[in-house]
Amino acid sequence: MRHCTTRTGHAGPSAKAAGELILTTHQLRPSERPMRHYFLLLIKAAVLATSLASCSALLLAQEPSPLSLHQAATIALEKNPLRKAAIADTQAASAGVREARSSLLPRLTFSETAMRGNDPVYVFGSKLRQQRFTVADFSLNRLNTPTPFGDFDTSLGARWNLFDSFVSWRGVKRATLASQATARQLDRTDQEIVYGVVEAYYAVLLAGKEVEVDEHALKTALSIMDRSQARFDSGVAVESDLLSARVRVAGRQQDLIRARNNFSLAQAQLNMAMGIPAESISKVAEPAADRSFLTPVLEELEKQALTQRPDLKRIELEEQAQHQSVSIAKSSFGPRVNAFAGWDLHNPTLFAGGGGSSWLGGIEVQFDIFQGGAKRAQLSRERALQEKAIAMKQASTDAVRLEVRRAYYDFDANRQQVEVARAAISQAQESLRMNQDRYDGGLTTITDLLGTEDAARRTQNDYWQALYRLHTSYANLELATGTLNPQSPVVTP
């Protein structure tokens, strides 16, 4: 933290002018000195006020602005490692689409081969390919025991799958569906990240309120202990009352220590949810406590979830991709037609040349007659996986319906509990005040007073916990319906 220091009389324009006035003051007549001295004090005061204003502006500029929930969600969608992993999955799936499409294009190859030997067949063929064969090479001695011969083969080859019973086309469609499925999974990951930020953000707010409640409870316990001390000193209370009050103070101190540690932990959890270092310090902006959310209709929420949940869309796309896998397994029984071509240049040396070139092209038709039942087993496997995908789709649909209902009833219960908890706070505070007066008048015991104080503290904690659950349960309801995003009402008030 920077410190601002204001000194009057340092080497600056204002100080220099003030010094000149001081010199001038000593040269004035006695009757003029009071007026000049008063004027000098005004200048010093103005310089001091300007310096303090600049220092205050600097400190305010250094004060970090509170972090809103929308800002926290935006940061999380940029830095959370889970989202980076999901993005990597989408990139890998996109690469899979390009890989599948490459099977529709021809393959071109280049090779350079250097060989040397005296194998009769090799020498005979190499001389023919280099177009260096002569009549003398028909001699039996040269044919049977040729001298070592070198051959450098420069080769260009091409191969194109003209027809494979639509295996390649269906592979492209399967890869495209898989890519779309990973994109839907990215959307679901974004929603889960936003929900985690909402939960962690309100956990920080709740922990801060619990610290305030425990601080107030400690002050109340100290006040009760002072009352007990006064009554004990005056002889109207027994020592056990004072000891009970001291025990309550110790308990409240322990609660405050625990609450402060929980607040620090909640801040670390929020930082981790945003994808920033856990030791970062961010002051959260507290939203309005009295926020109302629209109460939706359960049937509409279920329909919305079945049409908008990204994970359900992902499962549906995966089921369609598995259907393409079954079609690919069926197509593998069909014929394949390939075109191929090649050009070769054979030289006796690598750079000198002096050899010959040749080319070859053709079309082949392939048909697998028997492969030990491997293709039938593959088809059975893909059909079983398709049945599994269909069953998982139905199970996921039922699970989403139940999840929506659970989130709806949870939100409805928390909405009602907030109203009850808010009304209980004022009643508990009034009861505590009345019991303090009754204890001062000797009309009640310390046990009743401490019980009332504990009830007042508990009602405050219950209210803030109910408010925390209200916001998180609404966010969970939007997560269950697949509509949670940084622009949702719970994220952006």
Could you read off the pLDDT of 103-133 as tens digits, one per residue? 999 999 999 999 999 999 999 988 888 888 8
- For residue 264, pLDDT over 80 is answered with yes
Among candidates 193, 204, 196, which has minimal Cα distance to 281? Answer: 204
- Cα separation, 479 vs 185, in Å, equals 14
Q: In the structure, what pLDDT confidence band is assigned to residue 49 with cuts at 50, 70 and 90? A: low
- pLDDT value at position 287? 64
3-state class (DSSP) for residue 110: strand
The residue-averaged pLDDT of 74-92 equals: 95
Q: Look up residue 308 and give its two tokens.
A: 């908008």
- For residue 458, pLDDT over 60 is answered with yes
Tally: H helices and E strands in the chain: 12, 4
Helix (H) or strand (E) holding 366: strand 356-366
Domain ranges in the chain?
A: 13-62, 97-169+336-380, 171-321+382-481
The residue-averaged pLDDT of 137-153 equals: 87
Q: In the structure, what pLDDT confidence band is assigned to residue 2 with cuts at 50, 70 and 90? A: very low
Please give the biggest Cα pair distance in the chain.
Answer: 142
The residue-averaged pLDDT of 184-191 equals: 96
CA 283 to chain centre: 20
Q: Give the CB-side neighbour count of residue 285, counting CA atoms within 13 A.
A: 14
- For residue 328, pLDDT over 60 is answered with yes
Give pLDDT tens digits for 366-424. Answer: 999 998 999 999 999 999 999 999 999 999 999 999 999 999 999 999 888 888 888 88
- For residue 486, pLDDT over 80 is answered with yes
The residue-averaged pLDDT of 268-296 equals: 80
Give pLDDT tens digits for 61-71. Answer: 445 578 888 99
Tokens 């949870």 map to which residue?
A: 410
Four-way CATH pick for 171-321+382-481: 1.10.3720.10, 1.20.1600.10, 3.40.50.1100, 2.30.30.90: 1.20.1600.10
> Higher confidence at residue 236 or residue 248?
248
- Cα separation, 57 vs 418, in Å, equals 41
CB atoms near residue 412 (< 10 Å): 15
3-state class (DSSP) for residue 157: strand
- Cα separation, 176 vs 219, in Å, equals 65
Using CB atoms within 10 Å of the CB of residue 422, give its burial: 0 to 12 exposed, 13 to 18 middle, 19+ buried. Answer: middle
- pLDDT value at position 31? 47
Q: In the structure, what pLDDT confidence band is assigned to residue 29 with cuts at 50, 70 and 90? A: very low
Q: Give the CB-side neighbour count of residue 438, counting CA atoms within 13 A.
A: 15
Q: In the structure, what pLDDT confidence band is assigned to residue 290 with cuts at 50, 70 and 90? A: low
